[in-house]
Amino acid sequence: MSEVSSSADPVVLAKRRATGEAFSALFREGMALVEMTASYLDGPGRREAKGLDRSAALAYATESMRLTTRLMQLASWLLLQRAVNEGELTFDQARAEKMKVKLASYQLPHEDSLAALPKKLLQLITNSRRLHEQVARLDQLVYGGIETAPMPIRPGVNPVETQMGLLKAAFGGRDR
């Protein structure tokens, strides 16, 4: 017979996802993208920008600024989460610090602007948007909607029913 865990603590899947190997891979990918972008913008990107006409150069400057801003916000979020994972910050401390990190949705540039940009910059923008979507989803799972500490599990109380009651209260008790 196998043993059944007697732990009364529920498993929070979102937090587990933010602490496991999947997070480590996301962290490595994010930091590599930051380095790759910095290297490109300081070297080949700078040379490519000098060869662009005036309107394309403006689009390049705008999109490279948006890209670096997005990546710095993503790197900040990833570093905060890593600090939690390594025990340097508590979840509540990270949640408070995270309020300074804005994972705002990105603006889509005009199609004409995109057509004028170098292919490598377009690739970096696409990669940063994909990373942004992954981090934003993880952020919502881990931090979204959590305003108070989780309720302790009391003997005789079904935690699933408690959560269902909270969901009904949040959505006006509408049955579907």
Alpha helices by DSSP H, listed for the chain, are 13-17, 21-42, 44-50, 54-85, 91-98, 111-116, 119-143, 159-170
Buried (b) or exposed (e) across 145-173, using 16+ Cβ within 10 A? eeeeeeeeeeeeeeeeeeeeeeeeeeeee
pLDDT digits 0-9 by tens, 108-163: 767 777 888 999 999 999 999 999 999 998 988 888 744 333 444 455 556 666 66
**What's the predicted TM-score (pTM) here?**
0.70
CA atoms within 13 Å, Cβ hemisphere of 125: 21
* Higher per-residue confidence, 107 vs 37: 37
Tell me how far CA of residue 92 lies from CA of 79, 86, 102, 134, in angstroms: 15, 14, 17, 22
Please give the domain boundaries of the chain with CATH numbers for all domains.
Answer: 13-147 (1.10.8.930)
**pLDDT range class, residue 16, cuts 50, 70, 90:** low
